[in-house]
Structures are given as structure tokens and as C-alpha cells.
Structure 1
Amino acid sequence: MNSFEITLSPPVNLRDLGGIPIEGGTLRPGIAVRADDLATITESDASALVASGVTAVIDLRSTGEVALTGRGPLAGQPVAYHHLPLMADVGEGMSHESMRDFSHESMGHMYVRMVEAAAPQLATALTVIALSPGATAFHCAAGRDRTGVLAAMLLLCLGASDDDIVTDYARTGMNMVAINERMRPTMGVLLERLGFDLEQMAALTEALTDQRMAVSMQILLTELRERHGDPLAPVREAGLADASIARLRARALASV
């Protein structure tokens, strides 16, 4: 039972990845949908997602986040649910010392650590997308960081260019004010439990809403290549099979 009242609301950072250029053509709509927190969407939005073809949900939130809000209205819908946390908790990598360097650059370096540490979860998530009979919706809280990392790994599998991966990631920038407002109640509870000053955190988060957001994703892609050669190497080594990548590409190509 949740210890506080959750206000359900429509997602503010939800989009189908269809239309992005990939190797051999264009990513077909109805394969992958990225979103902010789907645990707090309305009943009508949950029904609309299923009606649009969503058959699976990948929840990238921490165990603490899931314990706080559960699965929400989608729990009552006929969708497969996969909890694949990319961080043990929302405070991981967010020590009070590290908050002094809370920037687009530090976020990019954190994404690199996330790919390397959570490669097994990312491999599983990509396999789920490859095997799902319909669209897979994946989300964290804001739909930016953890969701952005999975979106980048998917687009790398599909042969998208770095520029197109960065462009997709940066599209979230225009939604950040609405995202921060929407997730304030739930994230506020978690951050307060971790001992963070909420006013300070709000100011730091606000600083990440400027037009330099693309820097974080550029750092992720550049550092993965510098460290591994193939930016997908950590995920491949964690179990992502060539057959799964081939299936992703076959599913993703739009018909001419």
C-alpha cells in the first residue's frame, strides 16, 4: 500500500521512436515507445497505449521507485511487464559530494558507467523489444536518463547515426519543465528519504533544462567508442546475441 496519495496524469515525455533513420531505411512506428513514468498515467492513457499496440512494458526504475508507486493502471492491462532497473536506487552515483558537479558533462559520464554496470539489464531489454509481438514501451521516471540510455542502445543496434541518436535524446529538453513538475511528488519523497535538500535538488535539476542537453549523449557515445571500440561491446558481452540484433533490424525496417 502506498504511503502517500498519487495523482495520476498523462505522460509528458512519451514518443514513438518511429521515423528515425536507421541502416537500410527508417524505423517503423509501433516497435519502441519511450516515456516518462508510466506508473502514474491515467486509466484512459493506459487503455490508449494498449489500443495503440503496446504489448510489453520495460520498467527501468529502481526497486525503491517501484515500491513507492507500483505499476499503476497498466497493471490491469494485458501487457507483459519486465522490471529491469538500471540503477539500484535513485541515489546511486548521487552523493552529496558529486552533486557539486551536477552538469550535462557529469551526466554523460554517469551514462557510460550505467551502460557498463547495467549491461545485462540492457541486453535483456533489447531482447524483449526484439521478441515482443507488438510495441514495447520503456520508461524510468523522467524518460530522459535511463530511458535515453536504452533508446541509444536500441538505435545503435539498428545502425542509426550518432547525430540521429543525439537528436532523439535532446528532444526531451523541451519537455523538462513539465517532466520536473509531473515527477516532483514521487521523486521528492525518495530524495528526501536519501537526505537530499529538495530546494537544492530542484535548482540543480533546473540547471539541466538548458539547450546543452545533447552534450550528455555525445559524451556517452564518444566514451563508449574510446573505451570499447564497438559502443555495443558491453551489452554484447553481457548476452545480447547477434540473432537478437538481426531480429530487431528485421522488425524495425519500415515497409516501402
Structure 2
Amino acid sequence: MNDFTRWIDLEGAVNVRDLGGLATVDGGTTRFGRVYRSDNLQGLTERDVELLVGELRLRHVIDLRSGTEVFLEGPGPLTAVPEISIHHLTLFAEGGRHTDVEADRVDRIDADRVLPWQERNEEDLAELKVTGFYYNYLRDRPDSVLAALRAMAHDDGAAVVHCAAGKDRTGVVCALALEVAGATREAIVTDYVATGDRLEGILARLRSSATYRDDLDSRPADDHRPRRKYIEQFLRVLDDRFGGPLPWLASQGWTESDAGALRSRLRD
């Protein structure tokens, strides 16, 4: 890990970072070395696996990709490591032909139905539709969302959560985890947009796979950039409709015991 950032430099993945070091509302910070987030882990090298499993004590992989993605990509290197538990928890809100690489397309959801707000202008419409895809993850697969957060709370080693780009599905689940841990909203937004720093490398990796290439090549690279207004608007939806992410989680069966376990993992 780079001592001056939260990034973890691997040979076979480019969007890997620690959820530690983020500011919390009580003046603390989230804990390093407990939960990581990543793009696709299919290309990890032997050296990467040694670092993750040996030095960083990785024990849980939370794979948010669809069943189709997992089938098309085949087993990744970490599936052969006996110390690793794989939690395949698809969020199943897919915008591309095989994947959710196109989760920020603006022509695939009914924003009026998914996000029932009053006035909106054309300038805001694309933003609302992106946010709608994020809300669909929660609406369509709350079981996977809660299971992913519970897997992060296991105390026998570190966990990594990933999808394809480590941007949309991973971004939503990590935002919820950080909210449970008491991170500030600004810290949550900062973590979300950090993926943009590695966007070129992420897209280059995904274009090397036939699973993702067609979806990616259909739009300019900058269309895939995570923008702070997307995650801000998503969180605002949960605030407006449920009183916040935590009440939404509670409405789906998330307990105080669950919250306490995850906080103990992510808090100093």
C-alpha cells in the first residue's frame, strides 16, 4: 500500500483501495486494513495473490458481478485459494448486454417511477436516471446488499468488495458501509469519485475482455466517469424516502447487531 494514499498497487487490478482513513462524523477516521474495494479481480498475478492473502490477510471476496459475468469470465485466481471465501452476491440491475458496465446510460429506466420527485428539468434528467440505476440495486436485490455488508463484518481477516469497474455496484455498497461506520457524507463522496483517478486504466483492462468490450466501446470514456452528483443524489433519495441509508437498511432486516459488527471492523 502506498503510505501516502489509500491506493493498493497491484499488477492485475488498477482500482484497488482501502476504505480506511476516511473522516467520521465524530472526528475519527475509518480503520485501515479491514475492507478494500476493487475492480475486476480476474487478472491478479501470483504476486498480487501473495500480497493480498499473505500480507493484507484477505479472507473474504464479495463479488457483486452478475451470474453471466462470472460465467463468461471464468474462475478468477482467488477462487483457488483455500483461505478465501467467495461471496457471489449479484445486484442484478444490469444495463449492458451482459453486465452493468452501462449503469449510467440515460435511456433504460423510468425515472418518474423509480425516483418520484416533483419538478425536474432536462439538465437534471440524466443525473436522475443514473441515480435510478443505483436505487434499483437496493430495490431489486436488498438481500445481496445486506449479505455484502454482513460479509464485510466478518472478523477473521480482511474483505474486498468488487464488481467489474469497481465504480457503480461497488460504489453503492461501499457508500452504505461507510454510512454504517459513521463516515461523513463528504468522505463518502470523496471515496466514490476517487475511481475517476484510475478510469483510463480501468477501461483499458475491461476492453481487453470480450465480456465488457462492446458495452464500453458504445460510448465515450468520459461517460463512465463517476461524478459526485450521482452519489450525492442517490444518498439524498434515501434521506428523502426513508430518513437515510440506515433506516432503509433497518427496513430490510439490518439489525443493531449487524451495525455494531460492521462498525467495529471499520472504526478506529
TM-score norm. by structure 2 comes to 0.80
Distance 1:248 1:169 in 2: 19
Which residue of structure 2 lines up, in the alignment, with residue 74 of structure 1?
78
Structure 1 residues 71-119: Cα deviation after superposition (integer angstroms, max 9, x where no partner): 3111121211100001254537869981699955432221122122222
> Are the equivalent residues in 1 in contact too, given 2:134–2:234 (CA < 8 A)?
yes
- Percent identical: 34
Shift of 1:19: 0.5
Contact 2:13 2:41 in 1 (8 A): yes
2:188 to 165, 175, 183: 165
3-state DSSP class of the match of 1:26?
coil
Render the CA deviation track for 1:110-137: whole Å, top value 9, x for unaligned. 1122122222111111111112411100
Q: Which secondary structure state, in structure 1, belongs to the residue aligned with residue 153 of structure 2?
A: helix
Amino acid at match of 1:113: N
In the other structure, the counterpart of 1:117 is: 140
Residue deviations 1:204-247, cap 9 Å, x none? Answer: x43233xx711110111111111111223333222222101111
User: Structure 1 counterpart of 2:230, which letter?
Assistant: S
1:236 match: secondary structure: helix
- Structure 1 letter corresponding to 2:77: P
Bigger relative CO (Cα 8 Å, ≥ 6 apart): 1
Deviation readout 1:16-45 (Å, 9 max, x if unpaired): 111012255211111110000012222221
Pick the aligned partner of 2:107 from 89, 92, 98.
98
Q: Secondary structure at the match of 2:219?
A: helix
Cα 1:137/1:191, change in 2 over 3 Å: same
1:109 maps to a residue whose letter is G
Q: Given the alignment of the two structures, is residue 10 of structure 1 paired with residue 12 of structure 2, yes or no? A: yes
Cα distance between partner residues in 1 of 2:93 and 2:131:
18
Q: How many residue pairs get matched?
A: 238
- Kept in 1: contact 2:29–2:183 (CA 8 A): no
Residue number in structure 2 paired with 1:126: 149
Of residues 9, 13, 22, the one that matches 1:20 is: 22
8 Å CA contact retained: 2:106, 2:129: no
| C-alpha distance in structure 2 between counterparts of 1:123 and 1:40, whole Å | 27
Task: Name the counterpart of 2:6.
Answer: none
Give the alignment partner of residue 189 of structure 1, picking from 188, 211, 217: 211
User: Which one of the candidate residues 217, 220, 224 is aligned to 1:208?
Assistant: 224
Letter of the aligned partner of 1:207 in structure 2?
D
Residue 236 of structure 2 is matched in structure 1 by 222
Could you tell me how far 1:251 is from its partner in structure 2? 2.4
Contact 1:63-1:88 at 8 Å conserved across structures: no
Give the alignment's TM-score, normalised by structure 1.
0.83
Q: Contact conserved, 2:95 with 2:108, CA < 8 A, in 1?
A: no
Paired residue secondary structure (1:87) = coil
Within 1, Cα distance between the matches of 2:76 and 2:208? 15
Q: Measure, in 2, the Cα distance between the counterparts of 1:239 and 1:97.
A: 31
RMSD, matched Cα: 2.7
Q: Deviation per CA, 1:42-76, whole angstroms, max 9, x where unpaired?
A: 22212211111111000000001000123311112
Of residues 96-105 and 46-55 in structure 1, the stretch that sits farther from structure 2 once superposed is: 96-105
**Structure 1: where are the runs of 5+ without partners?**
1-7
SS of the equivalent of 1:55 reads strand
Structure 1 window deviating more from structure 2 (103-112 vs 59-68): it is: 103-112
Mark the CA change 1:231 to 1:60 in structure 2 (over 3 Å): closer, same or farther: same
Alignment-mate amino acid for residue 98 of structure 1: D
